[in-house]
């Protein structure tokens, strides 16, 4: 099973992708996570990407294409994957098709997580992320059992540098301008399923699992 998750920042792509990867035994490919790891490790990619990320802008396509090629050359994606955060514009969708055609694979399902702007801003401005395992929490919606500590692994939680209200608004603008075109693109390929992602994460999860098992 090969799944792409589309949707605005804050729609819950990361949360859903992590749960789905576990439930369906798939590899989780998150371009945001890979980029943040590169920033943390101060690699040359991380150094180039950081400024774009902090400003809520897209990292240039060529850098992303190289990163994705490397990721898809790893063995674990052969068992199937959930792609979260890519593609984000039509050029990236084409790059992805090139990578897939070289490997002789195709995507099975594109899930569009649709969320309202109000919910997005509330979710992202209160989001807390584990510095070690990447698990997501929320100050009020999904608080950790112990303040500032990850329930899953005990490491410290932090607030992402791009989860400030101003940057969230910029990310939403970029999404509307560049990424929302992909909804039509995948609709045209008869691959797209839209889900309302404003509700509870567990409900959205069971809806995606049902689509994957169809
Ligand atoms: P979100 O979807 O909530 O904005 P991500 O963690 O997916 O968060 O991405 C964080 C940032 O990483 C983006 O704002 C962007 O700067 C960069 N990024 C992630 N994926 C891509 C991509 N496919 N193309 C360009 N930039 C990306
Ligand atoms: Zn953790």
Residue-level pLDDT, tens digit, the chain, 214 residues: 999 999 999 999 999 999 999 999 999 999 999 999 999 999 999 999 999 999 999 999 999 999 999 999 999 999 999 999 999 999 999 999 999 999 999 999 999 999 999 999 999 999 999 999 988 899 998 999 999 999 999 999 999 989 999 999 999 999 999 999 999 999 999 999 999 999 999 999 999 999 999 8
Q: Tokens 């052969």 appear where?
A: 78
- Quick one: pLDDT at residue 214? 86
How far does residue 84's CA lie from ligand 1's centre (Å)?
Answer: 9
Q: Catalytic: 2?
A: no
Residues with CB under 6 A from ligand 1: 9-10, 31-32, 35, 52-53, 56-59, 64, 85-86, 88, 92, 162, 171
Q: Which of 77, 95, 91, 85 is nearest to 6 (CA)?
A: 85
Q: Catalytic: 13?
A: yes
* Count of CA atoms in the C-beta half-sphere (13 A) of 99: 21
The CA–CA distances, whole Å, from 36 to 15, 24, 96, 102, 210 equal: 16, 25, 21, 27, 31
Q: Catalytic: 171?
A: yes
- Quick one: pLDDT at residue 26? 97
| Ligand 1 pocket test, candidate residues 9, 28, 31, most atoms within 8 A of CB | 31
Among candidate residues 139, 160, 164, 194, the one labeled active-site is 160
- Quick one: pLDDT at residue 76? 96
Q: What strands, in cross-sheet order, belong to the sheet with 109-114?
A: 27-30, 81-84, 2-6, 109-114, 192-196
Provide the residue ranges of all domains of the chain, joining segments of one domain with +: 2-116+179-212
Contact 132, 150 (CB under 8 A): yes
Q: Beta strands 157-158 and 127-130: pairing type?
A: antiparallel
- Quick one: pLDDT at residue 190? 93
- Quick one: pLDDT at residue 56? 94
- The CATH number assigned to the domain with range 2-116+179-212 reads 3.40.50.300
Q: Tally the residues of the chain.
A: 214
Q: Whose CA is nearest to atom 3 of ligand 1?
A: 9
- Quick one: pLDDT at residue 184? 94
Q: Whose CA is nearest to atom 4 of ligand 1?
A: 9
C-alpha span between 99 and 152 (Å, rounded): 34
Total-model pTM: 0.92
C-alpha span between 127 and 131 (Å, rounded): 13
Give the chain's radius of gyration (CA, Å). 16
Is residue 25 packed enough to be buried (19+ CB in 10 Å), middle (13-18) or exposed (0-12)?
exposed
pLDDT (tens digit per residue) in 110-150: 999 999 999 999 999 999 999 999 888 999 989 999 999 99
- DSSP per-residue string spanning 2-55: EEEEE--TTSSHHHHHHHHHHHHT-EEEEHHHHHHHHHHTT-HHHHHHHHHHHT
């Amino acid at each position: 099973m090969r799944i792409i998750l589309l949707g605005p920042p804050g729609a819950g792509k990361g949360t859903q992708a992590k749960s789905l990867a576990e439930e369906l035994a798939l590899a989780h490919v998150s371009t945001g996570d890979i980029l943040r790891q590169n920033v943390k490790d101060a690699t040359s990619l991380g150094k180039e990407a950081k400024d774009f990320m902090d400003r809520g802008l897209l990292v240039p396509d060529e850098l992303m294409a190289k990163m994705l090629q490397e990721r898809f050359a790893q063995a674990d994606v052969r068992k199937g994957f959930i792609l979260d955060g890519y593609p984000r514009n039509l050029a990236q969708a084409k790059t992805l098709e090139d990578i897939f055609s070289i490997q002789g694979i195709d995507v099975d399902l594109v899930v569009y997580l649709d969320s309202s702007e109000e919910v997005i801003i509330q979710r992202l401005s209160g989001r807390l992320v584990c510095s070690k395992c990447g698990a997501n929490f929320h100050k009020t919606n999904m608080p950790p059992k112990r303040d500032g500590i990850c329930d899953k692994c005990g490491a410290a939680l932090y607030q992402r540098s791009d989860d400030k209200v101003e940057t969230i608004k910029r990310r939403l603008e970029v999404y509307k301008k560049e990424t929302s075109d992909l909804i039509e693109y995948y609709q045209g390929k008869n691959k797209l399923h839209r889900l309302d992602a404003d509700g509870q994460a567990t409900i959205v999860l069971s809806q995606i699992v049902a689509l994957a098992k169809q």
